[in-house]
Every structure is written in C-alpha cells, then in structure tokens.
C-alpha cells in the first residue's frame, strides 16, 4: 500500500509522514531529501552527473557514501533544492528512482508530486496545507532563524514550486485535503492512520 503525502514546506509533512509510517509499520520515503542531495552535489560541482549520484535514505541521508543529513537542511541547500527541482533532467531522474523504490512494499511517501506523478495509483493521497504565516512560524521555531526572513524565503519557494512548468505543487483530484493550521501533529497523524487503515481493509 502507498500513502502519498504532498503539500508545501512547513505544512508538517515530515513529522506527520514519519509518525504515520511508524504507526502503520510502513517504510518512510522523503523525496525532498533526494532533491536536497542533488542540490548539494550541484553546489559542489556545477557539471555533476545526476544519474551517477548515490543517494542513501536510511537513518541518515548520504550522498556518495558521505553523511549529508545536516548539510541538506542549510538555507543555501534549501534554496538550491527548489531550483534543481524545476529542471526536467533532475525530475526525470528522481521520478525513475522513486518509482522503482515504490514498486513493491508498503510506503509512506512525502513530497510535492507523489499523488499526481510518482504514485497516481496510491491507495491514499493526503494534501497537507497550513496558513503561510503558520508554516513560516513553525520553520522559524525549528531553525531559530528570524521569522521575517523565513517568510520571505518561503514565499519565493512556494511560488517557484507552485508555478514551475513541470510537476507543480497541486493536490491530486482524489487527495484528502487536511488544513493543519489549527491541528496538533497528533491529530493529523491520527486522522491519516485512521484513513489508511480504513482504505487498507482494516489490516492494522
């Protein structure tokens, strides 16, 4: 079974997707981390061959064997990830990798295009949203950076991710939209686990 969780930055995808995977006993896949790894590689070498990159997504995120878990969360990499994610060759390479991973097994996958492009056949599609101010507030709290700055960067990335030609951030027609602005993480997790259990014929 595949549970696809899409939505903009700061809507709570990572926290929620990880916890839902744990509760259901499914494997968690963070596709954003893959774009972030590509960004690290590109920042180090502008001509890097995307197809030759070894990206490891276990307890730590690794690039060609090196632990980049912290580096991928920096502001520079975050900005570059949004840029590389708009490139057709990068998306094509990531789509192939992600689809081959998802070909078997039970997954909770988070990203922007999971329900629309990567796994349109997913049994459950969730589109998580939250007010832009609330999303920025959460990010600023997490990172300790000034709210104004986080809000400005978020606005720029929201526009780029939402307006790009290729796989822009949109909810799949059959996605369940959850506005997390006024909900606790626990409430969102509980709701998704209940929906997944229901869709899966009560195997939990």
| Residues forming a β-bridge with 2 | 107
Beta-bridge partners for 25: none
Residues shown for the chain: 204
- Min separation Cβ 82 and ligand DC, Å: 3
Structure tokens at 188: 């969102």
Determine, following the binding rule CB under 6 A, whether residue 85 of this chain makes contact with ligand DC: yes
Q: Per-residue x/- mask for ligand DC, residues 170 to 189, rule CB under 6 A?
A: --------------------
Tracing tokens 């409430």 back to the chain, one arrives at: 187
The whole-angstrom separation of Cα 199 and Cα 194 is 9
Rounded to a whole number of angstroms, the minimum distance from the CB of residue 169 to ligand DC is 7
Site string for ligand DC, 38-77 (x = CB under 6 A): ----------------------------------------
Interface with ligand DC includes 153 (CB under 6 A)? no
9 is a contact residue toward ligand DC (CB under 6 A): yes
Q: Contact at 8 Å (CB) between 1 and 196?
A: yes
Q: Measured at CB, which residue is nearest to ligand DC?
A: 32
Which secondary structure element, helix H or strand E, spans residue 25, and what is its range?
A: none
Contact assessment for residue 54 and residue 63, using Cβ atoms and an 8 Å cutoff: yes
Nearer to ligand DC among residue 113 and residue 126 (C-beta): 113
Residues that bind ligand DC (CB under 6 A): 9, 31-32, 35-36, 81-82, 85, 111-113, 157, 161
């Amino acid at each position: 079974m595949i549970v696809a969780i899409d939505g903009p930055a700061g809507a709570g995808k990572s926290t929620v997707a990880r916890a839902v995977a744990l509760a259901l006993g499914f494997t968690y896949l963070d596709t954003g981390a893959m774009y972030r790894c590509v960004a690290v590689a590109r920042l180090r070498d502008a001509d890097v061959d995307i197809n030759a990159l070894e990206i490891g997504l276990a307890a730590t995120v690794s690039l060609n064997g090196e632990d980049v878990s912290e580096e991928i969360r920096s502001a520079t990499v975050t900005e570059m990830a949004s840029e590389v994610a708009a490139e057709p060759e990068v998306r094509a390479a990531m789509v192939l990798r992600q689809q081959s991973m998802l070909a078997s097994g039970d997954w909770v996958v988070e990203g922007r295009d999971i329900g629309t492009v990567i796994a349109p056949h997913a049994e459950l599609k969730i589109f998580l949203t939250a007010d832009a101010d609330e999303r920025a507030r959460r990010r600023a709290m997490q990172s300790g950076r000034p709210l104004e700055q986080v809000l400005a960067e978020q606005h720029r990335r929201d526009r780029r991710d939402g307006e790009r030609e290729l796989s822009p951030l949109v909810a799949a027609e059959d996605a369940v939209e959850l506005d997390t602005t006024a909900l606790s993480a626990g409430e969102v997790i509980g709701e998704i686990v209940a929906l997944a259990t229901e869709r899966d014929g009560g195997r939990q």
